[in-house]
Chains A and B, each alone.
Chain A
Amino acid sequence: MSNLKNRLLKKLKTEDVHPISKLYFVLKNAGIWILAGLFFIFSIFATALVFYFIMNLEIISLIWEAPRMIPKLVFVGVPIFWVLFSLGLVFFTGLFIEKTKGGYRRSTLFVFGGGFLLQLILGVSLSQTTLTEVMEKQLERRVNFFENVNQKKEKIWRVPEEGFLGGKILEISDLENWMLLGFRGEEWQLKLSKKTKMPQNVEFKEGQKVCIRGKLIDREARIFEVQEIFPFRGRQKELRKNMRQFQENQLKNGAGILRRVGRIKRKEALMQ
C-alpha cells in the first residue's frame, strides 16, 4: 500500500469523512437553473415593456415619416435602460446555463442566440397582452425614475420645428381654426384645411389630448399648420377603439360626427 493511500484512508476513517450527499449537488444544480429561469423571466418582462413602449409611441411609423427625428425618437422613445436591462438579463441567463453541470458542452450560439430569440418571441407576445399596461402602471407608481409611455410620448410631440406638436384642444372655433394648449403649457393657433388628414371615425372634442404632424408657420405667434391630427392615445389603438364606438353611436344616434361637421358648416354659411 502506498504511503499516500495509507495516510489518506486513515485520515478519512479517523475524521469520519463521508462523501457529501447527492441531494446537496442536485439542489446546487437546481439552484443555478432556478436563477437562470428567473433571470430569463425578468428578461421577457423587460422585453415586453420595450415593445410596449415602441408600439405605443408608434416610433417605427414616425421614423419613416420624419427621418430627421430619428436621434430624438431613439433617445426619447426607445427605453434604452430597459433594452440594456433585458439584454443583460438574457446574457446572465446564458452565463448561468453555462455554469450548470455539462453547460460548457452546449453551443454558445444555442445558449445565447436561442435565449435571445426566445426572449424576443415571448417578449413581443407578452407586450400584446394587457399585462404590460398593468406592469407599466405599477412601475410608474413604485420606481421613481420610471417614465411612463404618456410622459415619453409628450416629449416626442414637443418639437414643432420638426413638425411634431401635441397638447390639449382648447377650442374648436370652426373647421379651420382650432386652439391648442401645448405640452409645454403654451397656446397654439392651429390651421386646418381640407387637406388635413384626420381619422374619419373620431370626433375631436375640446379638452381632448391630440398629436399633430404639420408645419410651423410662425414661432413667435405660435401658428401651426396641421397636416395630420389624431388622438394622443395613438392612431391604431384609438382608431380600433373608436371604430367600435362609432358603429355603436351610428346605430344609436345617427352619424354623430357628420352631424357636428354639418352644424359647423351651417354656422359658417350663416355668418357669410
Chain B
Amino acid sequence: MLTEREIIQRARENSDAFGQIIDLYEGKLKRYLFRLGVMETEDQEDLLQEVFWKSYKNLNDFDDGLSFSSWIYRITRNTAYDFFRKKKSQGKLQIFSEDVYDLFWNQLKDETQDIEKKFDKKQRRKAIAIVLQKVPEKYREVLILLFLEEKSYKEISDILQKKENTVATLLARGKQKFKKLFLQKFNISDF
C-alpha cells in the first residue's frame, strides 16, 4: 500500500492518482467545513471542489516538511473564509453530536455544577452551540481545530500559519471567552 507521500508524488505526475487524495480527505474536509459553519450541502460540495482544485494546482507548493493534512486543511480553511467574506456572513449555528457536546461540557463542568442541576442536557447542548457561535472567530477556529478536529498545537500552527505560542494564547483566551459567554447565557436564562 502506498504512503501518503508516495500518493502525492504520483499525483504530481498523474491526475488519476489525485483521486486517492480525494478519497482520503473528502469526508474529513466536508465535516470540517460543516464545523466552520458551511451548512448547505451544495455549498460544501462547491467549496470542496474548489479546495481539491486548488490543492491539485498547487501540489508543487506543498512543503514536504509539513504534514499534507495540515496543508490541505489550511487551503480548506482559507477557502471557507473567502466564502464567508464573499457572502458577508459567518458560519451558522451548529448542533453538535454527543461526543462533541461532552468535549465542551468537560471544559466547563467545574464552574457549572449548579447549571447541571437546573438545566437538562438538551438545553445545555443548545447553549454550547449558541455560545460557540458567539465566540470571536479567531478563538472559535482554534477551539474547533483542537477539540473537534483533534489537531495538535503544531498542526493548528501550520493550518492557521501562526506560531505555536500564539495558538496556545488563542486557545487559553478562547476557553475563557467560551466559559464567560456560557455562564452569561445561563444567568440571562433566555433559552
Chain A residues engaging chain B, CB cutoff 8 angstroms? 1-2, 4-5, 7-9, 11-13, 17-22, 24-25, 101-102, 104-105, 107-108
Contacts and interface: CB of A to CB of B under 8 A. Distances in A.
Contacts of A11: 53
Contacts of A4: 22, 26, 45, 48-49, 52
B151 to A, nearest CB: 16
A107 B23 CA distance: 36
A18 B15 CA distance: 8
A12 B49 CA distance: 11
Contacts of B65: 102
B58 A107 contact: no
B18 A12 contact: yes
Given A8-B53, A12-B56, 17 more contacts: A4-B49, A4-B52, A5-B19, A5-B22, A8-B49, A8-B56, A9-B18, A9-B22, A19-B11, A20-B57, A20-B61, A22-B60, A24-B60, A101-B63, A102-B63, A102-B65, A107-B163
A223 B15 CA distance: 91
Interface string B153-191: 000010001110000000000000000000000000000
Contact of A104 (B16, B19, B48, B162): B162
Contact of A17 (B15, B19, B26, B157): B15
Contacts of A13: 15
- Scoring A7, A13, A105 by chain B CB atoms within 10 A of each residue's CB, the highest score goes to A105
Interface in B89-142: none
Contacts of B161: 104
B52 A19 contact: no
Interface of B, helix, strand, loop or mixed by DSSP? helix
Contacts of B59: 19
Contacts of A1: 19
List 3 A-B pairs, minimum CB-CB distance, nearest first: A19-B59, A22-B60, A5-B22
B82 to A, nearest CB: 19
A25 B62 CA distance: 10
A105 B157 CA distance: 8
- Scoring A4, A24, A102, A107 by chain B CB atoms within 10 A of each residue's CB, the highest score goes to A4
Interface string B4-39: 000000011001101100110010000000000000
Given A4-B45, A12-B18, A17 B56 contact: yes
A108 B18 CA distance: 37
Contacts of A2: 22-23, 26
B154 to A, nearest CB: 9
22 contacts: A1-B19, A2-B26, A7-B49, A8-B49, A8-B53, A8-B56, A9-B16, A9-B18, A11-B53, A12-B15, A17-B15, A17-B53, A17-B56, A17-B57, A19-B58, A19-B59, A19-B60, A20-B58, A20-B60, A101-B63, A104-B163, A108-B163
A25 B60 contact: yes
